[in-house]
Chain A
């Protein structure tokens, strides 16, 4: 087994927010906390609108884990990044470190009291007895221990959001892309940063000070 990952196909996502609703319902996430959300770019521009569903990406080298002052994060054998809420002090460092805005903090009380961090668990629960009430209340449902995949991915009507072993979902996505009539040109530098100008040269390196 490699590592559990999410992959969202921007060509398929229709911004229905079914994944967000499924996550909320499955884990009984409190008001004000969104473990998953749908981000849309070029909103309203016909033909240019793209949406992707974003949550914790369960990074292989997770910045949240690196900055946590109390070391409450851990990675499971399946590559899922989880944390211990009993240890979390709600400092918010993980929120600033995460490039995806995954860590969420419940806002309760009149003075902006920040509670313990909450985030997507890949429906893998947390450090409590599996499928126990304590685990559900703190972390949500543990679907992996039931032999199921995250609710968001399984509920996705267009199967834009894929969840599972990185190798498996990458194969699924690759097969789709090939069937769309595209090939290797959809991966790599050109796709990530655009084709650029013809005959463009790389930027000159600044002279080093000796």
Chain B
């Protein structure tokens, strides 16, 4: 009984001698606060010339912002 107990204690004690893997895996991640997505906001009122999309719908926000980007193309300007 005493011998078994000694073996168990020795087993626990030897775990401290283990060699853990210490090589960096190269994966680093952002440690700060989470950010929200632009399409999760209500569009501004029309007089502020914001976009028109459905809150939470990424596709509609992207369609809207793309239309705004195309206004920079003076040969294809759509609303100015």
Query: Which 4 pairs across A and B sit closest by C-beta, in order of nearness?
Result: A147-B51, A84-B32, A164-B69, A74-B30
| 20 A-B residue pairings within 8 Å (CB atoms) | A71-B28, A72-B32, A74-B35, A82-B35, A84-B30, A86-B32, A87-B31, A125-B35, A126-B35, A127-B32, A130-B36, A147-B50, A147-B61, A147-B65, A159-B72, A164-B66, A164-B69, A164-B72, A172-B70, A175-B73
In the complex, the answer to whether B75 meets A179 with C-beta atoms within 8 Å is yes
Within 8 A of B (CB), among A123-181: 124-131, 142, 144-149, 153, 159, 162-165, 168-169, 171-172, 175, 179
Which A residues touch B69, using CB under 8 A? 149, 163-165, 168-169
Smallest distance from the beta carbon of B77 to chain A beta carbons, Å?
10
In the bound assembly, the distance between CA atoms of A82 and B32 in angstroms comes to 11
A110 at the interface (CB under 8 A from B): no
Known: A164-B65, A179-B75. A131 touches B41 (CB 8 A): yes
In the complex, the answer to whether A142 meets B38 with C-beta atoms within 8 Å is yes
B29 at the interface (CB under 8 A from A): yes
B44 at the interface (CB under 8 A from A): yes
In the bound assembly, the distance between CA atoms of A82 and B66 in angstroms comes to 21
In the bound assembly, the distance between CA atoms of A152 and B43 in angstroms comes to 21
Q: Which residue of A lies closest to B63 (CB)?
A: A1
Interface bracket on A: 35 or more
Contacts across chains A and B counted by CB atoms under 8 Å? 99
A61 at the interface (CB under 8 A from B): no
Q: Which residue of B lies closest to A73 (CB)?
A: B30
In the complex, the answer to whether A71 meets B72 with C-beta atoms within 8 Å is no
In the bound assembly, the distance between CA atoms of A77 and B39 in angstroms comes to 11
A76 at the interface (CB under 8 A from B): yes
In the bound assembly, the distance between CA atoms of A153 and B69 in angstroms comes to 10
In the bound assembly, the distance between CA atoms of A76 and B48 in angstroms comes to 25
In the complex, the answer to whether B72 meets A169 with C-beta atoms within 8 Å is yes
B74 at the interface (CB under 8 A from A): yes
In the complex, the answer to whether A72 meets B72 with C-beta atoms within 8 Å is no
In the complex, the answer to whether A149 meets B65 with C-beta atoms within 8 Å is yes
In the bound assembly, the distance between CA atoms of A99 and B62 in angstroms comes to 30
Which A residues touch B68, using CB under 8 A? 147-149, 164
Which A residues touch B28, using CB under 8 A? 71
Q: For A70, A72, A146, which residue has the most chain B Cβ atoms within 10 angstroms?
A: A146
Which B residues touch A171, using CB under 8 A? 73
